[in-house]
């Protein structure tokens, strides 16, 4: 489940933010903002992606670096929200 979530996030960023032909070229732990992988507007796109694809409601207070600054962090956040919803 976790790997599947991570792969969906990697694919989304690769296709919609990086427009990469070779997938997501960073490690899952790489900091989105620290490494310049996404910019501030892209974070808003990621919020919409998470809401639409995982059926969870992202609260304002959830949009923090602990949840939205790497593939690994975002996947962990999504999983925790999905579990809560079940």
Partner 1 sequence: MLVHEFLEHSADRTPDKLALVCEGQRLSYVQVEERANRLANALKAKGVERGERVALYLPNSVELVIAIFAAMKAGGVFVIVNHTTKYDKLVYILRNCQASALITSIRQADFVQQLSNRVPSLKMIILTGAVADVAGAYSYETIQQYFPSHRPPKINIDLDLACLIYTSGSTGEPKGVMCDHSNVDFATNSIISYLKNTANDIVINVLPLSFDYGLYQLLMVFKFGGTLVLEKGFTFPVMVLKRMVEERVTGFPGIPTIFAILVQMDLSPYDLSALRYMTNTAAALPPAHIIRLRQKFPWVSLYSMYGLTETKRTLYLPPDQLDKRPGSVGIAIPGTEVWLEDEQGNRLGPNQIGELVVRGRHVMRGYWGDPEATAKRYRPGPIPGERVCYSGDLFRMDDEGYFYFVARKDDIIKSRGEKVAPKEIETIIYNLEGVIEVAVIGVPDPILGEAIKAFVVVAEGVDLTEADVMRHCRANLEDVLVPKYVEFCRELPKTSSGKIIKPQLK
Q: Return residues touching partner 1 (CB under 8 A).
A: 15, 18-21, 33, 36, 39-41, 43-44, 60-61, 63-65, 68
Which is nearer to partner 1, 15 or 27 (by Cβ)?
A: 15
CA–CA distances in Å: residue 70 to residues 38, 44, 86: 10, 14, 24
Which is nearer to partner 1, 63 or 72 (by Cβ)?
A: 63
Which is nearer to partner 1, 20 or 76 (by Cβ)?
A: 20
Distance in Å, CB of 4 to partner 1, minimum: 23
SS3 track for 1-40: CHHHHHHHHHHHHHHHCCCCCCCCCCCCCCCCCCCCCCCH
């Amino acid at each position: 489940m976790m790997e599947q979530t991570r792969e969906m996030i990697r694919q989304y960023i690769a296709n919609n933010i990086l427009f990469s032909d070779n997938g997501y070229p960073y490690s899952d732990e790489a900091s989105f903002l620290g490494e310049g992988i996404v910019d501030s507007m892209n974070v808003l796109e990621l919020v919409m992606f998470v809401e639409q694809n995982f059926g969870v409601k992202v609260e304002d207070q959830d949009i923090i670096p602990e949840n939205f600054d790497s593939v690994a962090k975002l996947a962990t956040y999504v999983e925790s929200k999905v579990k809560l919803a079940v």
